[in-house]
Amino acid sequence: MWWHVAVGQRILATHSWPWSDTYSATVSGTPWIAYEWLGEVVMGAAASVAGLRSATLLLVVLSALLVVLLYFYAILRSGSSKAAFVACATLMPALGAFFGLRPQLIGMIFLVLTLIILEKFREGHERALWLLPPIFLLWVNTHGSFVFGFFVLGVTWLCGQTQFSAGGIFAQRWNERQSVQLLLSILLSALMLPITPYGTRIAAYPLSMAFGQPVNVNNIQEWQPLGTGTILGKTFMIVAILFFLACLIERPKFRLPEIALALFGVFAACTHLRFTLLFVIFFAPLWAKIFARWMPDETKEDQPWFNAGLMAVILLCFVALFPSNETIGRNVESEYPQGALHYLESHPIQGQLFNDYGWGGYLIETNQPKNMIFIDSRVDIYEFAGVFSDYLSIMRLEPDIFKLLKKYNIEACLIKDNTPLATALGAMPGWERVYHDHASALYVRKPLTNVPALEAAALSNR
């Protein structure tokens, strides 16, 4: 979240949008746009109130909102609040893996809102459809996941052009009025895409992500295929197997568009780990419909006072368990190089610092100078400049590592102590570990006069 917060606070402070990089030394001045600027402004505004504590509160609110909306959508599709509750509860291990303060979380909220609006439209609430254009106006300025919103609209409209029933799948044809209204809402939503501080550049970014950043897609963990070695992968496999068995036993009927979206969710999750969230969102209503067949009818009257008491207890527990600034600070200290940065304040370096990729955003948010930032999570700009490939070569100890260190005038490396690079630097006479703790290690190049003659000659030749 770090660089997102920093960019959002900068936009709020300057009342302008960035057009080039001003944070790092390696790509300084390179054209770059804040393509998730609205989400970043929300995050930056929250962090400006009470620091990490208010940012944590925003994370809780957004995560809760996503769950509540998904629960409501599952109720609409299954007709049972109990079944929707069980479905969402069993999907929480997969859903919770994506509770991180990033614009992506807001984008997924817009996706569930789109599904709810389409369901209300299908029920006959025609006016609900005209909420889509303003949602897409906000969405395109918040996160690139707006493309999945158009995918949902397209699948919904296309599946409504036919009518059939085959096995457990059926399709219902839109009447002419519904079809025209849906097409018109799609067109109006598309007209919202250029209404950004950067014109159509933000709308085009998902294409760049999909086809123009192969190094990013092939090396960043969240773009890797979903494996079964994590709680996320295990949840995916268990739910998929149980759903298949339930379908064999119960023979439920599903609408064609929801089956199409669920299958796309399976494909997307298996292709890229980060898209498992799409699977959860598209799959939840089908899962709830399975449970609805086993749940008792909801004929008993509600108990408002009991419900109010239960909600009050939950709220009190939330307030009591909400982390203090000290707790959040300790968590940050355990994951990020706070101690190393304190050391560098009194022992500044003259050349370029090489930093771990995962810490770049933290270095930006803590207002480190340019020479302290080699790379951060804005992978696109570093890939286009060739810096990301060089970073990977250095971290993997490829044969050209010495040329790359010299190319960027690297005088210090701020990395994790359990990496191959740390082991290599620790064994090289020309480098010295001057600081280390449980989170980070700082290696500094020794003055040339302190390096043995052969080592100095070798480094100079390289």
Query: Structural domain boundaries of the chain?
Result: 35-304, 337-461
Given a cut of 60, whether residue 449 has pLDDT beyond it is no
Q: What is the pLDDT of residue 97?
A: 85
Tokens linked to 117: 């609006």
Contact 433, 442 (CB under 8 A): yes
Tokens linked to 128: 């609900």
Q: What is the pLDDT of residue 445?
A: 92
Measured on CA atoms in the order 265, 269, 275, 279, is the torsion positive or negative?
positive
448 pLDDT band (50/70/90 cuts)?
low
Cα separations in angstroms, 338 against 53, 72, 332, 419: 18, 42, 8, 19
Separation CA 294–CA 250 (nearest Å) = 10
Q: What is the pLDDT of residue 462?
A: 44
Taking only the tens place, the pLDDT of each residue in 122-168 is 998 989 999 999 999 999 999 999 999 999 999 999 999 988 888 88
What mean pLDDT is reported for the chain?
90
* DSSP string across 29-84: T-B---TTHHHHHHHHHHHHHHTHHHHHHHHHHHHHHHHHHHHHHHHHHHS-HHHH
The closest alpha carbon to 273, from 61, 428, 104, belongs to: 104
Contact 243, 264 (CB under 8 A): no
Taking only the tens place, the pLDDT of each residue in 99-110 is 999 999 999 999
Helix axes 132-140, 176-191, angle to 10 degrees: 30
Pairwise pLDDT comparison (288 vs 300), residue with the higher score? 288
For residue 20, the cross-strand partners are 31
Name the DSSP letter for residue 20. Answer: B
Contact 368, 338 (CB under 8 A): no
Whole-model pTM: value is: 0.91
* Residues contacting residue 56 through CB under 8 Å, at least 6 positions apart: 101, 322, 323, 328
Q: What is the pLDDT of residue 461?
A: 46
pLDDT more than 90, % of the chain: 65
Given a cut of 90, whether residue 211 has pLDDT beyond it is no
Given a cut of 50, whether residue 393 has pLDDT beyond it is yes
* Residue type (1 letter), 25: A
Cα separations in angstroms, 317 against 100, 308, 322: 21, 14, 8
Q: What is the pLDDT of residue 294?
A: 84
Separation CA 126–CA 175 (nearest Å) = 13
Helix count (H) and strand count (E) of the chain?
A: 22, 7
Helices within 251-348 (DSSP H only): 256-271, 276-292, 304-321, 325-335, 338-346
Q: Which helix (H) or strand (E) holds 210?
A: helix 201-211
Separation CA 338–CA 135 (nearest Å) = 39
Let me know how long the chain is. Answer: 462
300 pLDDT band (50/70/90 cuts)?
low
For residue 414, the cross-strand partners are 355, 442
Identify the CATH class of 337-461: alpha beta
* DSSP string across 108-162: HHHHHHHHHHHHHHHTT-GGGGGGHHHHHHHHHTT-TTHHHHHHHHHHHHHHTT-
CB neighbours of residue 361 within 10 Å: 23
453 pLDDT band (50/70/90 cuts)?
very low
Taking only the tens place, the pLDDT of each residue in 167-201 is 888 888 989 999 999 999 999 999 999 999 999 99
Taking only the tens place, the pLDDT of each residue in 4-60 is 999 999 999 999 999 999 999 999 999 999 999 999 999 999 999 988 999 999 999
Contact 204, 140 (CB under 8 A): no
Taking only the tens place, the pLDDT of each residue in 65-89 is 999 999 999 999 998 889 999 999 9
CB neighbours of residue 76 within 10 Å: 16
